[in-house]
Structure 1
Amino acid sequence: MAVFTPVSLEDVTQWITQFPLGQALELKGISSGIENSNFFLTTERNGEQHQYVLTIFENLSFEQLPFYLNLMRHLAERGVAVPAPVANDKGELIVALHGKPAAIVTKLEGQSQMSPQPVHCAAVGAMLAKMHLAGQDYALKQPNLRGLAWWHETTPEVLPFIPEDKAHLLKAEVHFQDAFAACDVHKQLQVGPIHADLFRNNVMFDGERLTGFFDFYFAGCDTWLFDVAVTVNDWCIDLDTGVLDTARVRALVDAYHAVRPFTAAEHTAWQPMLRAGALRFWLSRLYDFYRPREAEMLTPHDPGHFERILRERIATPAPELF
């Protein structure tokens, strides 16, 4: 959520008339994240002000976007706390703005919890399990676009920029994940739509009450366990070292397990999957750091953070799922 495509309030004023949202009053760019151009949009209708999020998609196409926006609608209709996409007067969720696909979704209440305690992790675990179950009957299919195939495509792009010890780790881990993905245990894992990027800044809380998950634009169909691993690797760690906090891990996975019990295959795959989650984000941060795109308010994330997490997951077994 950076700003690659500048948009003014004047640009939006006429464009928004096709939506049942009233008059555009204010537009403010959102600086966090690195994939799309995002803005807080304030509107006025019948004397009342409302807030939304306007997103201009920089990488995803008109053809790809129905998977994400209809998934959000599908989950919202089944009681999962996610932003609801707003359709225009033709029933369209995706409309061109400055020649690029754009969408408006409702803005969640609260704020991100950047210093989570076990109570917050438990709420995230329970809602993540509810989200996975709610997505089982979602009709559209799309693979995780940052999965194993992308790791193979991207690794050669970053290897020339990193020192030998990091290159050795990266190549060895991709090889390990190749073997893991081909094994019988991996083939037994539960699969369905996943968020794939459920970091602390993609969840909103009002005190201890979870008000919603957002930013579904890395979602795809993959193993549910990968989603849990990505989430644990952010919510349940010491940010300086990557070491897991056992109390937070237990809170998150126990709450998930109470809603959607983990399987025996998932128990066996847990340690490799935590490594897979760390690899995915180390690799994407290496790519964003060494192959940056120009954007207003864009600061690439430190790749070293997920390198430390990956090394820690290799060296130290995590608490078991159950």
Structure 2
Amino acid sequence: MAVFTAVTLDDLNQWIKQFPLGQALALKGIASGIENSNFFLTTERGEYVLTIFENLDFDQLPFYLQLMRHLARRGIPVPDPVPNEHGELVVPLHGKPAAVVTKLEGASQMDPQPVHCAEAGTMLARMHLAARDFPLQQPNLRGLDWWLETAPKVMPFLSPENAQLLSSEIAFQQAFAGTDTYRQLAHGPVHADLFRNNVMFVGDKLTGCFDFYFAGCDTWLFDVAVTVNDWCIDQQSGKLDPARLSALLDAYHAVRPFTDADRAAWQTMLRAAALRFWLSRLYDLHLPREAELLTPHDPTHFERILRDRVEHASQELPA
């Protein structure tokens, strides 16, 4: 993630002693994303990731970190948070909440083929089922309430055409959220940000997924739509690629079968997933925060995707 809070090895000399990790040997800032300060951390015990949370507070973080521990203990390949000597997963560093998690093996597959999409679909379904008995509750903090709150803040920066698109789509999604179909969708903890760069592979084998700091309780179908809108598209046009789409959806369906409600809501959820990331990228572009390393994403990418999902129906979910 972008480095908002600078940290040095000297800063870690005393802090790291509370963890069973030995001495800190190397620290490198990760210059991608725009939410937290992330670092690759090498210690005498191995490779880890140190995160300093810039937006989330001490009260919010137990949901994310406990969810990761819950999934890790059920065989889902995710980073496992490391507790300190008091059993705490979140501890202050430079006055901000911080955590250390295990580092995954592999590298992200930024040009996924159907085989990679199938791996992602299988893991996503397994993750949803594994989290069914997770006891903590927290809404998706970038869901409908956030859309309604944030849209007026970015409206002054938009062209009339884009302002109309944003207003109409939020109204459409707000109306759908009140329907029986929406209420029938399976609901539980979701990753909500399972982009290609948050999943690791060794060859064609998926070795893990990370960055759970947008996770929350939402419909499982929304999580599938977020994933599809990144993994299964032509990057230039935003249009869905049938081969990759079928591979991901078929693999997911084999583990957690889609329902009639899922099939009825699919096109709407694809639009919702595109809206969420278009709006967040508009916000980050026009109302940025300062950071030592900052790489804002282009919002026009998800504008194209949203317009395509509004205008063209996707292939149906597997039956």
Does TM, scored on the shorter chain, surpass 0.5? yes
After the TM superposition, which residues 48-59 of structure 1 pair with which residues of structure 2 at under 5 Å, given as runs? 50-59=46-55
Shift of 1:315: 1.0
Matched residue type, 2:104: L
Structure 2 counterpart of 1:243, one-letter code = K
Q: CA deviation at 1:261?
A: 0.3
Matched, 1:145 2:141: yes
Given residue 227 of structure 1, which amino acid in structure 2 is its aligned partner?
D
The answer on 1:168 being equivalent to 2:153 is no
Aligned to 2:3: 3
Deviations 1:114-147 (A, max 9, x none): 0000000000000000000000000000000000
Name which of 109, 113, 130 aligns with 2:109. Answer: 113
- Distance in 1 (CA, whole Å) between partners of 2:197 and 2:33 is 9
Please tell me the residue identity of whatever aligns with 1:81.
P
Q: Deviations over 1:48-101 (max 9, x none)?
A: xx1100000000000000000000000000010100000001110000000000
Residue identity opposite 1:25 in structure 2: L
1:293 lines up with 2:286 in the alignment: no
Aligned to 1:272: 268
Residue of structure 1 in register with 2:179 after alignment: 183
Which whole-Å CA distance do the structure 2 matches of 1:181 and 1:250 have between them?
Answer: 27
Aligned residue pairs: how many? 318
- 1:167-219 CA-partner distances (Å, limit 9, x unpaired): 00000000110111111100100000000000000000001010101000000
Counterpart residue type for residue 274 of structure 2: A
**Which of 231, 236, 242 pairs up with 2:238?**
242
Counterpart of 1:19 in structure 2: which amino acid?
F
Measure, in 2, the Cα distance between the counterparts of 1:245 and 1:12: 46
CA distance in 1, matches of 2:81, 2:168: 41
Question: Percentage identity across aligned positions?
Answer: 72
**1:154 aligned to 2:150?**
yes
Aligned to 1:41: 41
**In the TM superposition, what whole-angstrom CA distance separates every residue of 1:253-302 from its partner, at most 9, and x where no partner exists?**
10000000010000000000000000000000000000000001102100
Tell me which residue corresponds to 1:21: 21
Q: 1:30 matched to which residue of 2?
A: 30
Q: Which runs of 4+ in 1 moved over 6 A?
A: none
Secondary structure of the corresponding residue to residue 119 of structure 2: helix
Q: Give the residue type in structure 2 aligned to 1:292.
A: P
The answer to whether 1:200 aligns with 2:199 is no
In the alignment, which residue of structure 2 is the partner of 1:252?
A: 248
Q: Separation in 1 of the partners of 2:56 and 2:47?
A: 24
The equivalent of 1:127 in structure 2 is: 123
Structure 2 unaligned spans of 5+: none
Distance 1:312 1:31 in 2: 31
Letter in structure 1 aligned against 2:94: H
Return the alpha-carbon distance in structure 2 between the equivalents of residues 14 and 234 of structure 1: 41
Q: Give the TM-score of the pair, scaled to structure 1.
A: 0.98
